[in-house]
Amino acid sequence: MMGQVAALQALVISALLVWSSYGKLVGPLVGARARRTALKRFVGEDRAEPAFRAVGAVELLLAASLLLPPVWKVESLAAIALSVGFLGYLTYTRIAAPDSSCGCAGSAMAPVTWRSFGRAGLLLVAAAGASMADTGWAMSLPGATAIAVVAVEVMLFVALSAELDRYWLLPLRRLKVRLTHPLANTASYGVPLATSEHQLLRSSAYRAVNALLRSGIRDHWDEGDWRFISYTASYDDREATAVFAVPRLRYEPDEVRVAIVDDESGETLYRPTLLPVPA
């Protein structure tokens, strides 16, 4: 059974590395993500994006090689080296640039926390396990026990990945909010700004542009069922304002919308979807 688990580690590591490389290689905001990481301080602002993309390319190449026979021993040793490198980078970030984004996986921005170290440590354990495999993952049919062990391992990776919170942790928190009625027994019918901010911070719209924001809440106003909240932002080195439309009387983070507007020209620089029309 342990041999089957070891052989399956190549699949687990490959999946994690493909996901990790995605945010470093795909999308219009790769440069902004790179500049929010400690790479900006480590290699310089001009080299941050190329270094960020290079790491993503290495991850993708290693992920592909782990899926192909027959030299899984060499590939698993490379995964061990990469895991050790991740731990070193996280340590450097935590000490030298604690406010920087991890830039570890996916396209979401997340700070370096104990979960980041836990995930990198688990990746190291998985790579060490893969190095002890005596056969490739495609050369034997795993039993139910081996599949169950790997499933638990995958769930640990998910639990340690802050970038995936929106898929399982945030829905649970949203359910809790709905069940506990956070606006019950308030002194008036006015919705506190903190409540709107709480909803905003848990929205996909906020996560999409978080790397571009340069201030806390700058202004806010209500129009009908919507509360508009603005932040100072930067888009392609242009001074801009990010405006969010947040449902005012209901908790629906998925309905939050955002637009980034150039401060000088008034041009809309970024708007994933149209802002809702106030009632």
pLDDT tens digit string along 226-238? 999 999 998 887 8
pLDDT over 70 (residue 159): yes
pLDDT over 90 (residue 277): no
Of 144-158, 183-197, 208-222, 232-246, which range is least confident? 183-197
Residues 220, 196: contact at Cβ < 8 Å?
yes
Residue 264: its pLDDT value, please? Answer: 78
Q: Which residues lie below 8 Å from residue 6, measured CB to CB, with a gap of 6+?
A: 129, 130, 132, 133, 134
pLDDT band at 276 (very low <50, low <70, confident <90, very high): very low
pLDDT over 90 (residue 244): yes
Indicate the average pLDDT of the chain: 84
ω into 70 cis (within 30 of 0): yes
Residue 216: its pLDDT value, please? Answer: 86
Q: Per-residue pLDDT averaged across 156-178, rounded?
A: 80
Single out the residue of 236, 207, 204, 10 nearest to residue 101, CA to CA: 207
pLDDT over 90 (residue 155): yes
Q: What are phi and psi of 252, to 5 degrees?
A: -140, 75
Q: Per-residue pLDDT averaged across 13-37, rounded?
A: 86
Residue 23: its pLDDT value, please? Answer: 85
Please report where in the chains the tokens 């021993």 appear, as a residue. 73
Q: What is the domain partition of the chain in residue ranges? A: 2-168, 193-270
Cα 247 versus chain centre, distance: 24
Please report where in the chains the tokens 């100072």 appear, as a residue. 232
Percent of the chain with pLDDT over 70: 87
